[in-house]
Amino acid sequence: MKRAEQIFAIFLATLSAYIIYGSLQMPYFTEFGPGPGFLPMWSAIILLAVSLGLIVKSFKFTQATKEFITSEGLKRILSYFVLLMIAVLVLERAGLLLAMAVFCGIVSKYLDGHKWRSAAGVAVAATVISYFIFQWWLNIPLPGGLLYSTY
């Protein structure tokens, strides 16, 4: 837990340093009052101070007792995330609903541990219902890809 606390606080500190650097390139004060650099700079300075405080605090007070994530949990999260990224990468080509149907099926089967039949059922049902809600009722032009033509 301690390591994770530190990593997140360091992420916040790095982000604020980038924002401070970026806002220094912008007009800080104009003749009409504060410029576009004013608020980002001050809020990033406070964010930097707060995240440094959190880093110090994590060294001093947080006990390294509880594990942030188990290796099993990490494996599950990474598989989910990689699958989702692949689905997003192909969804314009393959069709959003098709890509997501395959994604839903694989997640139900391998991560949620359902049998093939129910995983496939979920995938098909989710696709058909989504098609009717989003494409047909709400008129959202989802990329049809291999399944149907949007235009």
Partner 1 sequence: MDIWQNLLMGFDIIFSWQNLLLITGGSIIGTLVGALPGLGPSAGIALLLPLTFGMSPTSALALLTSIYLGTMFGGRITAILINVPGDAPAIMTATDGYPLMLQGKGGVAMGISAIASFLGGIVAMIVLAIGAPTVARWTIHFGPAEYFALMVMGLATISSMAGKSLLKALAMTFLGVVVAMVGSDAVSGFVRFAPFPELIEGVDFVAIIIGVYGLGEVLINIETAVRLDFGKVTLRFKELFPTWSDIRKVLPATGRGSIIGTLVGILPGAGGTVATFIAYSSEKNMSKDPDKFGKGAIEGVAAPESANNASVGGALVPLLALGVPGSGGTAVLLGALIVFGLRPGPLIFTEAPDVVWTIIASLFVANFMLLIANIVLIPFFVNAIRVSQNYLSPLVTLICVVGAFSLNYGTFDIWVALLFGVIGYFMKKLSYPGGPFILAVVLAPLAESSLRQSLILSDGSFSIFFTRPIALALMLIALVSLVIPFVQGMRKTGGDSSRKVSS
Distance (Å) of CA 6 to CA 30, 61, 75:
38, 12, 22
Strand partners, 147: none
Residue whose CB is less far from partner 1, 22 or 64: 22
Between CA 42 and CA 15 the distance in angstroms is 13
- For residue 64, the minimal CB distance to partner 1 (Å) is 14
Q: Taking Cα atoms as reference points, which of 7, 3, 9 lies closest to residue 48?
A: 9
Between CA 104 and CA 150 the distance in angstroms is 22
- For residue 97, the minimal CB distance to partner 1 (Å) is 8
- For residue 117, the minimal CB distance to partner 1 (Å) is 14
- For residue 99, the minimal CB distance to partner 1 (Å) is 9
Residue whose CB is less far from partner 1, 27 or 64: 27
Q: Taking Cα atoms as reference points, which of 127, 73, 134, 78 lies closest to residue 103?
A: 127
- The binding site for partner 1 (CB under 8 A) comprises 1, 4-5, 8-9, 12, 15-16, 19, 22-23, 26-27, 29-30, 32-36, 38-40, 43-44, 46-47, 50-51, 53-54, 57, 60-62, 68-69, 73-74, 76-77, 80-81, 84-85, 87-88, 91-92, 96, 100, 103-104, 107-108, 111-112, 114, 122, 126, 130, 133-134, 138-142
Distance of CA 93 to the CA centre of its chain: 22
